[in-house]
Amino acid sequence: MKKIMIKAALVLGTLAMLTGCSGKKEAAPTSAAEAGKTTESALGTEATEAGKTADGEDTFTVGFDQDFPPMGFKADNGEYTGFDLDLAKEVAKRLGKKFVAQPIAWDAKDMELQSGNIDCIWNGFTITGREDGYTWSKPYMKNSQVFVVGKDSGIKTLSDLTGKVVEVQADSSAEKAIKEDDALLKTFKTLQTTPDYNTAFMDLEMGAVDAVAMDVIVAAYQIEQRKADFVILEESLSAEEYGVGFKKGNEALRDQVQEQLEAMAADGTCKKISEQWFGKDVTTVGK
């Protein structure tokens, strides 16, 4: 009996020692997903703090919606291009930085900026109504929010949208403008959102929606490229201006970018890039 009790004590002692040893180690993540998040977070912080490529080159990372032609989008060859991206690329070149075009989900743009994944938001980004949310460049382009409808839809004025289904990009300036006009909003049958305007135009072509609210400069480009029977209503929702949005308080980078934009306006570079995309100079820098 004593032998049995001694053996049991030895077993318990061994277990206690093993438990004590394992207790000195850090707890492992409870799942592979958590482990992955920890690693991604650490790497993301390191990359953000460095602000450089693997070979030590300074970067200028621009966040944009890749489905927002002509301001920023993915071309047929798979490369990112657009009016805003061309401006940003030239700014990066003059600053001696490597240009990085970073596509983002538009409704996640604030998270991307706050986390440091991007240096700025530059993609037909409306200042109006967002003045206090970001550190802004000076406006570089005028814009307005409009409605696009089918040419033969019978819709000629805003009052003709009564009882109609209207679509808009989620978290866009057009959505904000409509929701601020409660009288107009109440006349719609439905106001629905979509992730991007390529989808919105397909919905309009198929007759799934009656109208799309969006930026006039983008609407005109989309209609021209699609060669479709769409028209822009003469009555607009709101007038506004485009700017480059930086994280609140990042005046240093804002000032660097603004300086280069003004230099580009002075030497004709802004005008040249604008004419390549729109056939005329639509920029307002230095004017």
Question: Is the pLDDT reported for residue 12 higher than 80?
Answer: no
pLDDT tens digits along 170-187: 989 899 999 999 999 999
Band of pLDDT at residue 51, cut at 50, 70 and 90 = low
Buried b (16+ CB within 10 A) or exposed e, 222-260: bbeeeeeebbbbeebbbebbbbbbbbeeeeebbeebbeb
Bridge partners of residue 141, in order along the sequence: 242, 283
Q: What's the whole-number mean pLDDT along residues 7-34?
A: 37
Q: What is the pLDDT of residue 190?
A: 97
Q: What is the pLDDT of residue 22?
A: 37
Q: How buried is 150 (Cβ within 10 angstroms: 0-12 exposed, 13-18 middle, 19+ buried)?
A: middle
Question: Is the pLDDT reported for residue 203 higher than 50?
Answer: yes
Question: Is the pLDDT reported for residue 41 higher than 70?
Answer: no
Q: Which residue has the higher pLDDT, 148 or 2?
A: 148
Q: Which residue has the higher pLDDT, 144 or 41?
A: 144
Q: What's the whole-number mean pLDDT along residues 128-135?
A: 94
Question: Is the pLDDT reported for residue 15 higher than 70?
Answer: no
Question: Is the pLDDT reported for residue 149 higher than 60?
Answer: yes
Question: Is the pLDDT reported for residue 6 higher than 90?
Answer: no
Q: Pick the range with the lowest mean pLDDT from 41-55, 75-89, 129-143.
A: 41-55
Contact between 119 and 60 under an 8 Å Cβ cutoff? The reply is yes
pLDDT tens digits along 219-267: 998 898 887 799 999 999 989 999 999 999 999 999 999 999 999 999 9
The identity of residue 287, as a single letter, is K
Copy the structure tokens of residue 183: 């009288």
Question: Is the pLDDT reported for residue 30 higher than 80?
Answer: no
d(CA 201, CA 145): 16
Copy the structure tokens of residue 213: 């609210």
Of the chain, the percentage scoring pLDDT greater than 90 comes to: 70
pTM equals 0.72
pLDDT tens digits along 75-110: 999 999 999 999 999 999 999 999 999 999 999 999
